[in-house]
Structure 1
C-alpha cells in the first residue's frame, strides 16, 4: 500500500474510530529494522512529527547498519531508540563502542534494553539488568531507558512459562528506576486481547511496579503472517484470537487489524485515567507503511504525518 503521495489532511480528520482511540494513539511509537526502514522513502510522509522509532537489533545485523539507520531516521526528525540486546553484546568494551557510535553519528540518547532472545550469550552479558548495572548508559548521559515487558510471560526469563521470575525482574527494574536518574518505561511484547492486558497491568500496579507501560500492538497484517510471528515471538493465550479468526473462512483472507484490542484498551483508559498504560507501541508486522496508514485512518489527529 503506497503512501508516498499521502498529504496531511485539512479540516476535520475522517476515519477516527472514537475520541478515546485518538487520545490513546497520541504519541505512539513504532519499530523498524534496517532492512524494513530501507523500504520507506521518507518517514515524514507517514509518521507524526516526533514519533519515537525503535530500531530492532536482530542477531547477525552489523552494528554499522544499525547506526546508519539511526542516523537516517534521526535526520528526518524522529526520536530514535535502538535495541541493545544483552546476549549479542560481547563485552563492556563492545557495549561502550556501540553507545559511542550511536551518539557520535546519530545523537542517540535513549535505548531499549532487553535480553535478546538468543539461547546462548555471545559474551559477558545475559540480561538487561547487567547492561543497566554496567553504568555505561549513565556515563554517556542517556536520558531514557526502556525495558521489555511480557503480558503473557517470557520463557527467556521463566522457562516454565510462569510469571514469578518475570515479575521479580520488573521489580528489580522498578527499584533501579527509583535509585537512579533514569527515565524509564516498559515496552511490551504484543498481545491480541484487551482483558488479559488490563489484568496484567493492574497486577503490576498492585505489586508496586509503577513504571509506565507502552503496550505492544501488532499492526495490520495477513492472518497467516500474524500467526507466524505470534508463535515465533512466544505470544501466549491471546493467540486464540487469531486461531478463532482462522476458523472463519469468510475472514481467512482478510488482513487482521488491531481495531478491537485498541478500542477496548482506549475505552478502559478513558474510563480509568490512572490506568498505567501510557502509550501504544506498534510492531508493523504487515509493513511500516500499512501500519502507518491504519493509524492515519483510525487515529485522527494523533497520527497525521509530519509532511
Structure 2
C-alpha cells in the first residue's frame, strides 16, 4: 500500500490506523474558497498528490479569482473541481464563457453543479438541472459532473418538509447520468450521524438511484463553529449529535472531530460493499490545515484514476 507523499515532509499517523477507516477515506476530497487558498503557501504541504479539491464559489467572488485558484491547484498537482452555482449565472453565454475560462486557463474538466446559496436567481438559471440541460458541459467534454445530494432533506426544495421534490430531481439526474458520457456523483451537505446517512443511501438504492455518493463530513472544529454552520445550512436530524455534545460540559470546550461518524460509516461499508457511499468529502469548517491533518492521521490518501469517481 502506497504511503502518502508530501513535498516537504512525510507525515506518519500518530496512532495505529483503523484499516476500515483508511479504506473509506481513500480518494477523499476537500473544499476551499479562493480567499482561503490564498493563505496557503503550498497545498503540497497539506494534501496528498492528485487529491480532488472543490473550489466553493461564494456570491461576490469574481470568476477570475475562481479560475486563478483552479489554475494554481492544477499547477501544484491537484484536480480542481469548481462549484458552478446556477443562480449566480446570468445566461447561457455567461455559462459558456465560464466553462471556456476554466478549460482554457486552468485545464478544468470537472465541476460541481448546484443551485447556489441565493434565494432568488440572478439570471436565467435556477437549478443544476437547467445547467445540465444546456448541453454545454457535454459539448466541452467534461469528464465528471457532480450534483448535490441531501441526506436530511432540503427546505429550499421541499418547503413544507418531506422529499417529493428532492426525489423527483434525483430521478431526473439519474436519467441524465444514463445518457451522458460524464461520470456523475452526488456530493452531500455535511452530516454528523451515520444512521440517517445509511437510511438515506439505502433508500436511494431501493428507488433505483445508483449515483455514487460522496458524503459530506465536517472536519475538526470548535463546537460553537459547527453549530453555527449547521443551523445556517439547515442540517436536520444529525444536529442533535452536536446539541448533545454541547450539554456535556467536559466536551464543550474540546474541538469536535468526525471520528465516530466516519468509523461507523466505514464499518458499514466494510460489511456492506454495495453501500452507496463511495467517498468522503470534507468541509474544513475549522480550517483546511486541521482537516487535512486529521485525514492524513487516519490514513486518508488520494484515489488512483482507475477508482476515482
TM-score (norm 2): 0.93
Partner of 1:289: 289
Q: Which runs of 5+ in 2 are unaligned?
A: 1-5, 304-309
Partner of 1:196: 196
> Any idea what the Cα deviations from partners look like across 1:118-151, whole Å, max 9, x if unmatched?
1110000001000000011111111110000010
CA contact (8 A) 1:117 1:156 kept: no
**In the TM superposition, what is the alpha-carbon distance from 1:299 to its structure 2 partner?**
2.0
- Is structure 2 residue 222 aligned with structure 1 residue 222? yes
Q: Matched residue of 1:83: which SS?
A: strand
Partner of 1:113: 113
Partner of 1:41: 41
CA contact (8 A) 1:295 1:303 kept: no
Partner of 1:7: 9
Aligned counterparts of 2:302 and 2:27: Cα–Cα separation in 1: 8
Partner of 2:23: 23
Deviation >3 Å, runs of 4+: none
CA contact (8 A) 1:28 1:281 kept: yes
Partner of 2:59: 59
Q: Matched residue of 1:47: which SS?
A: coil
CA contact (8 A) 1:6 1:46 kept: no
> Any idea what the Cα deviations from partners look like across 1:215-243, whole Å, max 9, x if unmatched?
00000000000001111111111100000
Aligned counterparts of 1:52 and 1:161: Cα–Cα separation in 2: 33
> Any idea what the Cα deviations from partners look like across 1:257-286, whole Å, max 9, x if unmatched?
100000000000001111111000000000
Pairwise CA RMSD: 1.6
Aligned counterparts of 2:234 and 2:110: Cα–Cα separation in 1: 26
**In the TM superposition, what is the alpha-carbon distance from 1:303 to its structure 2 partner?**
6.9
CA contact (8 A) 1:186 1:214 kept: yes
Aligned counterparts of 1:121 and 1:105: Cα–Cα separation in 2: 27
Aligned counterparts of 1:16 and 1:28: Cα–Cα separation in 2: 19
Partner of 2:265: 265
CA contact (8 A) 1:90 1:123 kept: yes
Q: Matched residue of 2:155: which SS?
A: coil
TM-score (norm 1): 0.94
Q: Which runs of 5+ in 1 are unaligned?
A: none
**In the TM superposition, what is the alpha-carbon distance from 1:186 to its structure 2 partner?**
0.4
> Any idea what the Cα deviations from partners look like across 1:78-137, whole Å, max 9, x if unmatched?
001000000110100110011111111100000000011211100000010000000111
**In the TM superposition, what is the alpha-carbon distance from 1:17 to its structure 2 partner?**
4.0
CA contact (8 A) 2:89 2:95 kept: yes
Q: Matched residue of 2:151: which SS?
A: coil
**In the TM superposition, what is the alpha-carbon distance from 1:164 to its structure 2 partner?**
1.3
- Is structure 2 residue 185 aligned with structure 1 residue 185? yes
Partner of 2:307: none
**In the TM superposition, what is the alpha-carbon distance from 1:163 to its structure 2 partner?**
1.1
Give the direction of change, closer, same or farther, for the CA distance of 1:303–1:212 in structure 2 (3 Å limit). Answer: closer
Q: Matched residue of 1:81: which SS?
A: strand
CA contact (8 A) 1:193 1:238 kept: yes
Give the direction of change, closer, same or farther, for the CA distance of 1:171–1:16 in structure 2 (3 Å limit). Answer: farther
- Correspondence 1:85-100 to 2 at 5 A: 85-100=85-100
